[in-house]
Amino acid sequence: MAARSVCVFCGSRKGARPAYEAAATELGRALAEGGWRLVYGAGDVGLMGATARAAQAAGGDTFGVIPVHLMQLEVGKSDLTRFVVTETMHERKKVMFMNCDAIVVLPGGAGSLDEFFEVLTWRQLGLHGKPIYLLNTEGYWDPLTGLIEHVIAEGFADASLRGFIEVVADVQELSSALRAALS
């Protein structure tokens, strides 16, 4: 069986808490140790860089996708197993999504939210069945999950929406969920 791939959406910054970078580093290592290929935004900064460097240090396979206009800003990490440069952000997201079996969202900003909502919408519309995990380091995603509950309560989504997302507290719980989903 071919190795499975996990797409990680996360910040190009480290964030305000050291726990975010620690979780990103732990995730990169866990992906490599689990035999899963990391698919991510190909940056060498913030949580993106921490995840990739840890995966590489643990001998993991890495697949990075970056649009040409972010090569300098996100310090395109060209020493990956596979490094793809796209023309647009849309193309980046498509290539990342098409090359993964599961999606994990770490803390991040507007870009990570955009990526999360796009794959969530596609799942809601029945365009894919890939699992989507929110790594809720120190409760980072609590406001987001509250918003999703609000959207459901206000009648803008069916209750089934919450079933398309699995919130996990730490990398250990995430690794168990990935093993169950990708075996």
Over residues 19-40, the pLDDT tens digits come to 999 999 999 999 999 999 999 9
How far, in Å, CA of 13 to CA of 44, rounded?
A: 10
Q: Tens digits of per-residue pLDDT, 59-104?
A: 999 999 999 999 888 888 999 999 999 999 999 999 999 999 999 9
Return the structure tokens found at 155: 């009648």
Residue 2: pLDDT band (50, 70, 90) is low
pLDDT value at 1 more than 50: no
Q: Going by DSSP bridges, is the β-strand pair 82-86/102-105 parallel, antiparallel, or unpaired? A: unpaired
The residue written with tokens 């609590």 in the block is 142
How many CB atoms are located within 10 Å of the residue 60 CB? Answer: 23
